[in-house]
Structure formats: C-alpha cells, structure tokens
Amino acid sequence: MRSIPPAQPLLPPALDAECQQTIYLALLHDRQLTLHYKKRDATAASVYAAVHPLAIVERCGLIYLVCMFADYDDVRTIALHRVQKAEMRYDDARKKSGFNLDAYIASGQFGVIAGAPITLRATFSRVAGEHLFETPLSSDQVLSAGADGRLQLAASVPNTRSLVWWLLGFGDGVEVQEPAELRAEIASIATKMAAAYA
C-alpha cells in the first residue's frame, strides 16, 4: 500500500521534541501552558504566559496547536515548530463552550481564511474537473457537462488562500466566473506570471 500526498511534498520543519511532548501532555491533562513562540519574521520569541490547549492538528507535515490565549475566547492556531520553550502549568485549562474541532477545520481555518464563504462558479476542462464528480468540493456542489464537453461548477466553499492555490494549480484548465473578486485576483496573478515568463 502507498499513500500519495495531494500536493508537492515538502520536508517537515525541525521540531523540538521536548516542547512537543510538554504540549501533548498539557493537552491530555487539561493543563495550561506557558509558551515561548517565535513568529516567522520575528527576531525574538514572544512569551504567552497562559495558553489553553484545545486540540492538535497535522496538515501537510506541519503540526498545529489549536488553543486560546489568557482570558480571550477566540480560538487560535500556532505552529509547533515555532515553539522554542514550553512549560506545563499547574492551572487547569479552560475549554471553549460548544467548540467542535471538525467544524473548526471545515470552516477553512487551516486553509488560511481570506473572507466570508463564497459561491464558486467556474468552468473546467473535462480533464481538469472530471474528478469533481467523485470528490465534490461541497455538499451543495452542482457539476454539469456543457455541449462543448467543459464542466460547469457551482459550489459553496470557504474563501481561503488554499482555494486560490488549488485553482491556480489547474492552469488553463479552469476559468473562474464568480465571485468577481476571485476572478480578478486569479487574472491578476496570471498576468504577472505571463510577464515573468515573457
């Protein structure tokens, strides 16, 4: 048996095993954490004194901690490989009432939210879009073949950066019709790409 990744495989970042173990233990025992976290472009680590762990999610080789900070109720995600030091506290971690990890993931959080959900309307070449008959984008997807053999798609999807990258991956095998903002963004990127390769 083999498992083929859906995208270009990348080597995972270096991860501090001791930090990872501390974070996992805090999650298992419902305890707070103090984390020293170095953001991507930062010169020094920030200290988050009270972190309330909710879940661990792995995406494309990256491991994320889903959590809340201090007394705030908004749910955040932080990449474990950026944690430079982790200390488990004796204080109990808070839980978010009604939090559902599957719903949080389905909302598009790990695809990097770019705005409110959208209705995507696009035309795919048969080769580029045929897989959508078996693996739809959403439960309300409508996919139909036109007289020219091209496929017309309508689907409600989270508005994420992953969606843009996914669409760009089809090259000239897809044309986005709506929403207008997404069509304009794809067109702008295509123009810049054409200029770079001219």
Residue 88's pLDDT is what? 96
The domain that contains 21 carries what CATH number? 2.30.30
Same domain? 99 vs 130: no
Q: Is the pLDDT of residue 131 over 70?
A: yes
Region 80-98 average pLDDT: 95
Rounded to an integer, what distance in angstroms lies between the CA atom of residue 161 and that of residue 148?
A: 30
Which of 65, 83, 106 is at the close of a domain?
Answer: 106
The answer to whether position 2 is within a domain reads no
Number of helices and strands (H, E) in the chain? Answer: 5, 9
23-34 pLDDT tens trace: 999 999 999 999
Return the structure tokens found at 127: 């080769």
48-75 pLDDT tens trace: 999 999 999 998 788 999 999 999 999 9
Higher pLDDT, 72 or 116: 72
Which of 106, 131, 166 is at the close of a domain?
Answer: 106
Residue 12's pLDDT is what? 84
Report the share of the chain in percent with pLDDT over 70: 97
Same domain? 68 vs 32: yes
Per the structure, the complete domain to which residue 188 belongs is given by 109-197
Q: For residue 140, what is the DSSP state? A: T
Q: Is the pLDDT of residue 194 over 70?
A: yes
Residue 171's pLDDT is what? 94
The answer to whether position 190 is within a domain reads yes
The domain that contains 185 carries what CATH number? 3.30.70
Same domain? 116 vs 172: yes
Same domain? 41 vs 113: no
Following CA atoms 64, 78, 60, 123 in sequence, which dihedral angle do they give, to the nearest 10 degrees? 120
Same domain? 87 vs 124: no
Which of 106, 122, 144 is at the close of a domain?
Answer: 106
137-188 pLDDT tens trace: 999 999 999 999 999 999 999 988 889 999 999 999 999 999 999 999 999 9
Return the structure tokens found at 55: 């879940």
Same domain? 100 vs 24: yes
